[in-house]
Amino acid sequence: MAAERIGIYPGTFDPITLGHADIIRRGAKLVDRLIIGVTTNPSKNPMFSPEERMAMVAREVSDLGIDNVEVVGFNALLMKFARKQNATVIVRGLRAVADFEYEYQMAGMNQQLDDDIETVFLMADVSLQPIASKLVKEIALFGGDIAPFVSPKVREDVARRVEGLGQLGDY
């Protein structure tokens, strides 16, 4: 019997977008078990705490109805986390050429750290390619509508957070 194929889809998911959900849905088909690794990255100026992001991602995955996906938080080197989870695949989503350059470099470095773990790139659905969590947060903070980019529940989460932080801009 073949070993279980475990994949890791790492990210900050701050917040989780429809683009992330697309990669989760498609990535889950490639492996027996997909672990969504919710990580910390203070340089990204997070809107939500790691615990809030994990809960948000878990809720969204549950709403997708995919049963071979779990959500795990981590604050470590990705390849160490992947080894600890017995993963053999890293799943990464690509939106544009700029993503590819960064991800290609990262995949090369990860291969140097552990060449038994493969990186698989999934192109985002064309309709979802422009979506980036950073831009979603910026649009929301300036009072724009983020409904085309996130689920209704995430939109509510972001709206509550923006209400607490205070909206930016003068009009």
Give the span between the Cα atoms of 35 and 148, in whole angstroms: 26
* Joined tokens for residue 163: 């209400």
Tell me if residue 95 is catalytic: yes
Give the span between the Cα atoms of 149 and 53, in whole angstroms: 16
- Pick the catalytic residue from 53, 92, 133, 137: 133
Tell me if residue 20 is catalytic: yes
Tell me if residue 44 is catalytic: yes
Polymer length of the chain? 171
CA atoms 65, 66, 67, 73: torsion sign: negative
- Pick the catalytic residue from 20, 53, 137, 155: 20
- Pick the catalytic residue from 5, 26, 83, 95: 95
- Pick the catalytic residue from 5, 25, 44, 83: 44
CA atoms 139, 145, 149, 154: torsion sign: positive
Residues tagged active-site? 20, 44, 95, 133
